[in-house]
Amino acid sequence: MSFLQMPTPVAARRLFLGRSGLVLSGAAIALLAGKDALAASTGDGGPQDTQILNTALGAELEAIAAYQLGAESKLLEKPVLDLALTFQGHHKAHADLLARTIEKLGGKPVASRANYNFPAEQLKSQADVLRFAARLEQGAVSAYLGAVPLFGNRDLSKAAASILGDEAMHWAVLRQALGEAPVPAAFMS
């Protein structure tokens, strides 16, 4: 898929949820939010939770690789490079937590793919890199937006909303760096 053909936010949400083959479980959302106590209260985390966690881990590894591509592109000025590395660090922390949790549940964490088919040839300026990262973060926002209302347990909805908030902040900051309105609309879809 090329840079100009990135999925829409709604399509990204469907792709994320579809990759797992399941709706995100309470344990997965709690762990994604870094809430170990909440995760412990949601059950034992069976094979379905491990599958969902591995889907989320795969998405985090993809984000790490995308930010690495941007960092290595030599297209980012120092303050923007620092920002990209900060966001990459957030994704690394999520990936580390997910991998450890998958192992605790008796599963085997997925590994980073050798190639993500990013549109490297289309990244010719700092703005191109920022737009690419913003689209990825927008897709993550959309994925979590779709997950939040699926929970009967309000604590799990809060945990999913916490993740959504983090991704939304990344997206807003990237839009601001592009000179765009950081919050483009009153509602997300």
End-to-end CA distance of the chain: 22
CA dist 40 and 128 (Å) reads 42
**Looking at residue 25, what is its pLDDT?**
44
**Looking at residue 86, what is its pLDDT?**
95
Other CB atoms within 10 A of residue 141 CB: 25
Predicted TM-score (pTM) above 0.85: no
Give the chain's domains with CATH numbers.
Answer: 3-177 (1.20.1260.10)
**Looking at residue 144, what is its pLDDT?**
64
**Looking at residue 107, what is its pLDDT?**
83
**Looking at residue 149, what is its pLDDT?**
65
Residues in the chain: 189
CA dist 51 and 45 (Å) reads 10
User: Residue 94, SS3?
Assistant: helix
Phi-psi region of 74 (alpha: psi -120 to 50; beta: other; left: phi over 0): left
| Parts of the chain with a pLDDT under 70 | 1-53, 56, 98, 105, 143-144, 146-163
How far is residue 116 from each of residues 1, 64, 85, 107, 151, measured CA to CA in Å? 10, 11, 19, 23, 31
